[in-house]
Amino acid sequence: MRRSLLLSLLILLAACQPKTVLIETEQGTLCLQPLADDAIRVRLAPEGTRRLEELIFTQDVKAPKFSVERSDGSVTVRTARMSAEYSTATQTMRFLDAGGRVLLEERPGGRSIVPAEIQDEPAYAVSQTFLSPEGEHLYGTGQFQDGYLDIRGLTRRLTQVNTQISLPLILSSHGYGLLWHNYGRTDFNPAESSVTLSPASESGASETVNATGTAGNRRERRFFQAFTGEIELPADGEYALLFDVGRTMARKQYLAIDGEPVIDITNTWLPPTAAVKVRLSAGKHQLQAEGTRGDAPAVYWRETDATTTFASPVADGLDYTVFAGSADEVMHAFRRLSGPVPAMPDWIFRYIHCRERYDTQEELLTAARRFRDEGIPVGTIVQDWQWWGKYGWNAMQFDEDKYPDPKAMVDELHGMGQHLMLSVWSKIERSCEVGREAAEKGYYIDGTDWIDFFQPEAAAYYWRNFSARLLPTGIDAWWQDATEPENDDLKGRRIGPDRIPGEYYRNAYPLKVIQAVCEGLRRDQPDRLPVILTRSAFAGIQRYGAVTWSGDVGNDWATLRRQIAGGLGQMAAGLPWWTYDAGGFFRPGDQYTDPDYQERMIRWIQTAVWLPFMRVHGYQSRTEPWEYNPETERLFKAAITQREALLPYILEQAARVWKEDYTLMRPLVFDFPQDGQALQEDCEWMFGPDYLVCPVTEGGVNSWSVYLPGNEAGWEDIRNGTRYEGGRRYDVPVDLEAIPVFRRLR
């Protein structure tokens, strides 16, 4: 058949897919579906592919009115606020706003849909490359630990792991958002060139660390290993590198090029990959990596260019949605289709006190009473893991030897104006009562202790036990820990009643867990607003009111700064509720006497005042203010008091989140999309419409560089009333009393 015939357009309003435009192409049938006036979905599914459950766009939204315009060389689908054009000559899509300005366009030849195989089952590997013009800034893909907020040109691997939350949505400074509609692993700007590093030598050095694991607190000995390799680059330029340690979780991420470190992160647990952009010259470069015994590191690289690519090695076809509009408009469109954020109770926005861990009911109540007696305003106190004691992991039963009357504990907290949050897991020890029955019924993911929430019967069983065993205590909030699940345990396994390869849904497990818990709470406690904290998330989880935090991070200055970029990256990917372990989860053994650590801790805590939720936590730590020296205690209490004073403002802005699809913690692209300098700031944000937050992320300083975005009326330092013009950078004085925060003048 002649090429002209192959490219002939069969434009149909299909009876089986109403409000959909179908275009026949060489790669298959391209489906264009206007979902809203400002959202158009693009799909291309080859014949015979597995059809997956719709997990993201779950809302019943009336299809918009649109027109279809045909010419010899193109097809245009036009809504009230945007249009999508298909070119027959280049076989590409481009998207325009209502005024005809190009927002986004596919690169000619940039689409790939090829057969693949996963667990002996046919699938497809898909990728799509888009043009990214000079001057564009891109944000999103979730919470990562690489420290980048602007991710244009960066290479990332989107998988779920402790401290990394993968959300396949990006936001552009050019006025659009893009959702890559895939539930499995996604590669953002994948690099095709790679080298596997070779073991060089074991230094003989080792360390023993206190670590958490799926069996509880433990000590782990780690032996350090060096690795080397070489790359040869064709030209001078900027290169994006992805460093992969070759295991499900890393202990150390260290990569040097020609002796100069470009990645240097150490923590008890780390994601398996880390990304960096560096300028390199043409020719050969020596790579040196450090890790631990058992690592199998590789380095992937690509020269950055004016493109953005999404790719997934396992898919049922090409599937993405483009949203047109400002950052706030993109968030509104995304949540309108994937579900609005539900209301939250006022008390959860007050100070949340947590530590790892209270060991008994009396120990927790003793701390709560002291908070009350000292007049420290606490909204929630948290019981971390292992409250199940002798009954086994997450047996959903308190060990009465240590917690003789959980309901009385909750009642006493309520009498003091406090609330209780309890850590509950999606894994259950198989030997406990609940676990034995779950195993008999086949409710586990094979070879793991994780419940298979893709089985409706398994999810219902989990919730029945949760409801019957825990809800009668009156507990107010639920901390769903390790919802990734830990160790990437969907990979290589089959899930659901149809035994689907887990790779298809590899990133969506937290969504199914939180859905089961939230829907159960709404059904069994209709008079309460659910409150759920989760360590992992996926696109659409905001409809269940999920709050995320940044996982088991360290406490150093660089880690603090990386948390800010990670949290803002999540905001740009559509999920509005986020916090971190203020003070760092992993803390030094001398934290109660080390002045350097206490300075860092105070900066973590002062910054947390200006997060959607303020929460302190720490591994094997007594995190209460009175555990530290008098000056640190005073500053700690002052930060909690400042949070309490902000509560009316926070509640007002939080209500906008569920009423208007607002974003409370705002990357500067939300409010200053035309300010080129503001778009590059990765450690400042607007907290609601009024406050610019500029955290201090270094120790021992008495001045701090801040950029105040262009604002005609200027800015006022809330610490001292000093006024500044906008659109300029300033060195402002700082002391330990508070971080710089500026009120936007009007």
- What CATH number does residue 114 fall under? 2.60.40.1760
Residue 678 belongs to some domain of the structure:
no
Encoding tokens for residue 519? 């829907």
User: Using the 8-state DSSP alphabet, how is residue 415 labeled?
Assistant: H
d(CA 727, CA 677): 8
Q: Are 87 and 224 found together in one domain?
A: no
Statement: residue 11 has pLDDT above 50: no
Q: Express each pLDDT in 174-192 by its tens digit.
A: 999 999 999 999 999 999 9
Q: Are 245 and 141 found together in one domain?
A: no
Residue 218 belongs to some domain of the structure:
yes
Q: Are 180 and 132 found together in one domain?
A: yes
Q: Express each pLDDT in 52-105 by its tens digit.
A: 999 999 999 999 999 999 998 999 999 999 999 999 999 999 999 999 999 999
Statement: residue 209 has pLDDT above 90: no
Q: Are 245 and 293 found together in one domain?
A: yes
Encoding tokens for residue 603? 């900066």
d(CA 742, CA 332): 27
Question: According to the model, what pLDDT value does residue 214 have?
Answer: 52
Q: What is the mean pLDDT of the chain?
A: 95
pLDDT, average across residues 297-322: 97
Q: Are 130 and 97 found together in one domain?
A: yes
Answer with the residue of higher pLDDT: 8 or 647. Answer: 647
Residue owning tokens 């809800």:
471
Q: Express each pLDDT in 348-393 by its tens digit.
A: 999 999 999 999 999 999 999 999 999 999 999 999 999 999 999 9
Statement: residue 217 has pLDDT above 80: no
d(CA 195, CA 198): 9
**Which residue, among 352, 344, 345, has the nearest Cα to 418 in the 3D structure?**
352
Instruction: Give the domain-ending residue among 303, 336, 369.
Output: 303
Q: Can you say how many angstroms the Cα of residue 502 is from the centroid of all Cα atoms in its chain?
A: 20
In the chain, the number of structural domains is 2
> Residue 556: which residues within 8 A CB-CB, separation 6 or more?
584, 600
- pLDDT band, very low/low/confident/very high, at 51 (cuts 50, 70, 90): confident
Question: According to the model, what pLDDT value does residue 49 have?
Answer: 76
- pLDDT band, very low/low/confident/very high, at 47 (cuts 50, 70, 90): confident
Q: What is the CATH number of the domain that holds 290?
A: 2.60.120.260
Residue 289 belongs to some domain of the structure:
yes
Q: Are 287 and 168 found together in one domain?
A: no
Statement: residue 499 has pLDDT above 90: yes
Statement: residue 549 has pLDDT above 60: yes
d(CA 122, CA 116): 6
Whole-Å CA distances, 61 to 58, 329, 339, 637: 9, 16, 10, 47
Instruction: Give the domain-ending residue among 272, 291, 324.
Output: 324
Q: Are 107 and 247 found together in one domain?
A: no
Question: According to the model, what pLDDT value does residue 180 have?
Answer: 98
Statement: residue 636 has pLDDT above 60: yes
Statement: residue 523 has pLDDT above 70: yes
Q: Are 225 and 317 found together in one domain?
A: no
Question: According to the model, what pLDDT value does residue 171 have?
Answer: 98
Beta bridge partners of 743: 691, 716
Residue 583 belongs to some domain of the structure:
no
Residue 595 belongs to some domain of the structure:
no
Please give the residue range of the domain that contains residue 232: 193-303
Residue 16 belongs to some domain of the structure:
yes
Question: According to the model, what pLDDT value does residue 72 have?
Answer: 87
d(CA 17, CA 51): 15
pLDDT, average across residues 675-704: 98
| Helix, strand or coil, per DSSP, at residue 39 | strand
Q: Are 178 and 197 found together in one domain?
A: no
Sheet with 615-616, edge to edge strand ranges: 578-579, 546-549, 532-534, 477-481, 419-425, 380-383, 352-353, 615-616
Question: According to the model, what pLDDT value does residue 223 have?
Answer: 86
Contact (CB, 8 A) for 398 and 387: yes
Q: Can you say how many angstroms the Cα of residue 382 is from the centroid of all Cα atoms in its chain?
A: 22
Residue 246 belongs to some domain of the structure:
yes
Note the pTM of the prediction, 2 decimals.
0.95
Q: Are 99 and 122 found together in one domain?
A: yes
- Other CB atoms within 10 Å distance of the CB of residue 637: 16
Q: Are 170 and 313 found together in one domain?
A: yes
Residue 240 exposure: Cα atoms within 13 Å on the Cβ side:
24
Residue 572 belongs to some domain of the structure:
no
Q: Are 120 and 197 found together in one domain?
A: no
Question: According to the model, what pLDDT value does residue 15 have?
Answer: 29
